[in-house]
Structure 1
């Protein structure tokens, strides 16, 4: 009897830990926003950020713009060569590292370490509350192109919301890959700092 009760409590603890490590994002807001031509005109790289956190709705919209599913068949907001879905997006925040799942529109926590200091190679990065990390296969030609499409969408979304965004390659990619526990077949492509201006 004691073993059964202990087993039930252990199973409940495991379930709670799994569910706590996965966050369902709010549905993305797919309406309204700034007209495209205005967003193109407003898009710019920002190197001065406030310390205000990014709320869940804004994060949801941001990730959906980057690589979300916008029609049946799991098709994405960005064009992909030969419909290859070979891009991964990770979110680095003070509370840990999260991996974006576009199909379920969720974040799965893959680590609790704050890796934001790995990106603080320049002073303007000190207040950044969130960094998107784009990764993909080392053996494929397309992940870098897909990352470019994704970070352009993020830049346009940021301009439409009054967010600051800057694409960055100046950081220790190997240290970040290790923190993400990437397999040897995958590499960090680039990062994008996001915050309120």
Structure 2
């Protein structure tokens, strides 16, 4: 073998060694094995229902590994290992609802069979669920504020010929600046894959998808109520960017999301 050929072979081997970890990483995404779920915790069902409420503020404290494990199992985990059936029923047992878990370090797919998280994309993507609130237009009152009624103190009566016309609403201090919502440490995205339904027209499949997603959503809400966590079901999200980010198929529909955190003190 000539020196030039040996040199080229050495370079090729070095490059191969450098690229191998990257190739293996792409082929074998990061997997997090979750703790065994604690099935004996929390309030009795009726007490959990009595205290269920939708949270509007979020703590930024990370959920513990055990709380995250229990949350996902309660949401849509396997509770009958002998036949693979789940805590949430689904139409024709299609098991169409997948849960994507958005954390500070990345987005993961919850795999119920192994009770683990599989990384889909790295990096904090939670802002796709928490958009800045738009500024309130000048003169618009506080949410829920009724428009003034002519004749009330502080209001000018209508001029002759203007009967029935409302005077302009007085300004309330102008528009407010944009404010960024505090992001919960965990956001669960519920995605239904309607291709898993056997038979039925697309409209029917979408109805089943909505029903199945609602059941998983309620599981999340009741678990959080029974364990002292805060959550609320939400439909607001950047669907197009999420579909692109997660590489979802046309049959995979992002329907609801649940921010989850400890209750803000």
Q: Scaled by the length of structure 1, what TM-score is found?
A: 0.88
Equivalence for 1:133: 189
CA contact (8 A) 1:47 1:124 kept: no
1:21 aligns with 2:30: yes
Contact 2:126–2:183, Cα closer than 8 Å, also in 1: no
Give the Cα–Cα distance (whole angstroms) in 1 for the partners of residues 91 and 59 of structure 2. 37
User: Which structure shows the bigger proportion of residues in strand conformation?
Assistant: 1
**Shift in Å, 1:137:** 2.7
Question: Conserved in 2, the CA contact under 8 Å of 1:165 and 1:192?
Answer: yes
- What whole-Å deviation, never above 9, does each CA across 1:78-127 have from its counterpart, x for those lacking one? 11121111111101111010000111111000001311111112568423
Classify the secondary structure of the residue corresponding to 2:220.
helix
> Are residue 53 (structure 1) and residue 66 (structure 2) matched?
no
- In the alignment, which residue of structure 1 is the partner of 2:88? 78
SS in 2 for 1:168: coil
TM-score normalised over the length of structure 2: 0.67
Please state if 1:156 is matched with 2:222: yes
Counterpart in 2 of 1:100? 110
Give 3-state SS (helix, strand or coil) of 2:189's partner: strand
The answer to whether structure 1 residue 39 and structure 2 residue 25 are counterparts is no
Deviations 1:122-159 (CA, angstroms, capped at 9, x unpaired): 56842311110011135424222111111111111111
String of CA shifts for 1:51-78, please: whole Å, max 9, x gaps: 1001111111000001000012110001
Matched, 1:194 2:260: yes
Match for residue 211 of structure 2?
A: 145
Is this contact kept in 1: 2:29–2:118, CA < 8 A? no
Query: In structure 2, do the counterparts of structure 1 residues 182 and 16 end up closer, same or farther at CA, with 3 Å as the change threshold?
Result: closer
Give the 3-state SS of the residue equivalent to 1:144 in structure 2. Answer: helix
Gaps of 5+ in 1: none
Aligned residues of 1:67 and 1:77 also touching (Cα < 8 A): yes
Tell me the CA shift for residue 20 of structure 1: 6.4
Which structure 2 segments of 5+ residues have no match? 1-9, 134-178, 195-201
Task: Tell me the SS of whatever aligns to 1:90.
Answer: strand
